[in-house]
Amino acid sequence: MNKGLFGTDGIRGVANQHPITPEVALDVGRAVVLVLGKNAGPVRVVIGWDTRISCDMIASALCSGICASGGEAFLAGVMPTPGIAYVTLSEGFDAGVMISASHNPYQDNGIKIFNAKGFKLSDELEQQIEDLVLGAGSDLKNQKGYETIGRVRRIDALEGKYEAFLRQTLADGNLLRGLRVVLDCANGATYRVAPHIFSDLGADVHTLFASPNGKNINDQCGSQHTQTLAKTVLEKKADIGLAFDGDGDRLIAVDERGKTVTGDQMLAVIAGHLKSENRLANNLVVSTVMSNLGLHQTLLKMGIDHIITDVGDRNVLEQMLRKKAVLGGEDSGHMIFLEHHTSGDGILTALQLIQVIRATSKPLSQLAGIMPIYPQVLINVRVGQKKDICKIPEISHKISDIQNRLGKEGRVLVRYSGTQPLCRVMVEGPDAGETRRFCQEIADLVQNKLGG
């Protein structure tokens, strides 16, 4: 399938440059109504966004397209991506749209689309929308008459409904009482809801990076930049630090000693606890090829089955649905709890992790210690083109040579980003120095052959 619009997580790019332009967003709005409108009456689409300065521009264009096709647009305002996924299903919308580029800098933006059940679209539905927008399908300009034009409405109660959903996922409403928590909201979509819900649940909360200005989202903060969070956890003598990304679907934690706890470690901790309570459906965890070798070893020791997918939460979700698993995720902190939600959710992940801390009466540092972390080096190389790596002999031979030298004690993974002009080079092995050297060798070769 030739996908020229959608990447691994919706449509994404630099704001005001193709495809993140008002013109494309307008046509996406039109196409969403045509493709996802299956019920009688106007198609109802809920729209949310993060705190980027370009969100107003994209939201306005989407609304115009939706209304031009006879749909109705409902504005939720700034909300986390999982919040939009939740209210799309719970409030009976035909579709949900989130305007965000997740953990990317403010210059980027994106469009994520959910179906009526709160799931991200299948490849087939994305292709239908893409064909319409790029002109391969029916003409979007063939609109109905003026009497069918839709309206735009603002709904202010949706954030509260999302908060109520998060509360009901806890078995004990007093679970957080007395817990000292530091939150890093990445100047993003969680800046209101996260401090409110953790405080409301009784935690002693100190909040960082909750003053968005349109340009400071993910800027040296959030799930990819936990230095300030770790420092603050130690200064405040907190029990845990929680860092969300710009749209709130990821979580990276910091333990009481100021050490970062990865998504893989959280998966291991939560999986072990669910198994101990006989709640790990089919005794199965799903993760991606980016997961650390230590996760596989830990799950093996715990007697838990492990399925590995390609990168992307959609791939994780697909296998979870197919194998009827309830827990899956990525090392980046994007985790899915299917017994609760259809989407990765940073706040939900935090609450699930805290439930394990409280149930076991163990600090996070001790819990996370069950998983050894193999030295892993990731280098992102900016590329001017995305040629098939296997068809570039120098690179493919170098990868094979290093993989052979690592043997079963390590691995090499070279892949292109689905949302940015980057080639991600990852090497994992038993020795930190050797692992870094191997990774740099491959990255230098990629830079030489494909660098942009």
What's the CATH architecture for 261-368?
Answer: 3-Layer(aba) Sandwich (3.40)
Return the number of other C-beta atoms located less than 10 Å from residue 297's C-beta.
15
Largest CA distance in the chain: 69
- The DSSP bridge pattern shows strands 305-309 and 284-288 to be parallel
Would you state the pLDDT for residue 311?
86
Would you state the pLDDT for residue 317?
95
Collapsing DSSP to helix, strand or coil, 82 comes out as helix
Would you state the pLDDT for residue 1?
37
Describe the crossing of helices 55-68 and 22-36 by its angle, rounded to 10 degrees.
Answer: 40
Same topology between domain 11-159 and domain 161-259? yes
Is the link from the previous residue into 430 a cis peptide, with omega within 30 of 0? no
- Domain residues of the chain, as ranges? 11-159, 161-259, 261-368, 376-450
**Tokens 């230590």, residue located:** 294
Q: Kindly report, residue by residue over 186-226, the tens digit of the pLDDT.
A: 999 999 999 999 999 999 999 999 999 999 999 999 999 99
CB-based contacts of 162: which residues, under 8 Å, 6+ apart? 79, 80, 82, 83, 86, 87, 193
Instruction: Answer positive or negative: Cα dihedral of 288, 420, 194, 167.
Output: negative
Residue 112 and residue 212: Cα distance in Å, rounded?
Answer: 21
Q: Which residues are the active-site residues?
A: 102
Partners of residue 27 on adjacent β-strands: none
CB-based contacts of 122: which residues, under 8 Å, 6+ apart? none
Q: Kindly report, residue by residue over 279-297, the tens digit of the pLDDT.
A: 999 999 999 998 998 999 9
Would you state the pLDDT for residue 143?
63
Would you state the pLDDT for residue 124?
94
- Measured at the CA of 8, the angle between CA 49 and CA 425, to 5 degrees, comes to 120
**Tokens 């990304």, residue located:** 245
How many CA atoms lie less than 13 Å away from 267 in the CB half-sphere?
A: 35
Residue 186 and residue 99: Cα distance in Å, rounded?
Answer: 16
Residue 202 and residue 375: Cα distance in Å, rounded?
Answer: 38
What's the CATH architecture for 161-259?
Answer: 3-Layer(aba) Sandwich (3.40)
**Under-70 pLDDT residues of the chain:** 1-3, 39-40, 136-139, 141-144, 452
CATH 3.30.310.50 fits 376-450, yes or no: yes
DSSP state letters, 93-153: -SEEEEE--TTS-TTEEEEEEE-TTSPBPPHHHHHHHHHHHHTSSS-TT----GGG---EE
Q: What's the topology of domain 11-159?
A: Alpha-D-Glucose-1,6-Bisphosphate; Chain A, domain 3 (3.40.120)
